[in-house]
A = this chain, B = another copy of it.
Amino acid sequence: MCPSRPTRDPATPLREAILQEARTLLEGEGYAALSTRRIASAVGCTATSIYLHFKSKDSLIYALIDEGFEELNRRVVEVSKGDGNALSLLHDVARAYVDFGLERPEYYEIMFMLRAEQMERYPVDAYRRARRSLDVFAELTALPAQEAARRGAIVWSTLHGLVSLLIAQRIDISLDREALIEDSIHSACLGAFAALPSGANSA
């Protein structure tokens, strides 16, 4: 009970406090509100102190991105272990992906919707590992590797298009949202299993 240390809780080390505040700010006000100075003032330190614990602002964001991927992976892997045929499993996994995006739009935004040049510095291996849940799409097609990879990418990009446009509020609000989502997921699953031009001659 020493009386020193005025503003910040000394129990949580600064790094964790910064991360916590970044999370709060991201979820509460979105990526655009994340500035080093805002985080610092909310946490009770100076902006430059952040650089004692993170190489750059980007690497702080990457920590949040990692957390996002962890949750997405957890959700997807859990659903993928359910029972049912490949098609219904794929449907459920796709649903889990979409639900994640719509329930945690701020995380989805920094994970998948940030500008490429900003993302470039994200370590490649970390990205591979992080995207692990996307491979589930490919695996569920039970096709030869190359073909599966393409089908997985098709499913992913279809779902990503839906989620990103919904998050950005670019889809006409007069549309029945739930019907659109369910139909899109079905369409994505079709894209995974239906006959497609490259299917015959790409193995």
Chain A contacts to B: CB under 8 angstroms = 30-32, 109, 112-113, 115-117, 119, 146, 149-151, 153-154, 156-162, 164-165, 167-172, 174-176, 179-180, 182-184, 186-188, 190-191, 194, 196-199, 202
How many copies the complex holds: the figure is 2
Residue from B176, B190, B202 in contact with A190 in the complex, judged by beta carbons closer than 8 Å: B190
Additional A-B contact list (9), CB under 8 Å, known A116-B169, A188-B191: A149-B172, A149-B175, A153-B180, A157-B161, A157-B184, A164-B164, A183-B196, A186-B197, A191-B191
Q: How far is the CB of A13 from chain B (nearest CB, A)?
A: 32
Q: How far is the CB of A165 from chain B (nearest CB, A)?
A: 5
Closest 6 CB pairs of A and B: A161-B161, A187-B191, A157-B161, A179-B198, A160-B161, A183-B196
Q: How far is the CB of A41 from chain B (nearest CB, A)?
A: 22
Q: A184-B191, A186-B197 are in contact. Are A165 and B172 (CB under 8 A)?
A: no
- State whether B154 touches A184 (Cβ < 8 A): yes
Which residues of the partner chain B approach A165 to less than 8 Å between Cβ atoms? 156-157, 160
Residue from B161, B175, B190 in contact with A150 in the complex, judged by beta carbons closer than 8 Å: B175
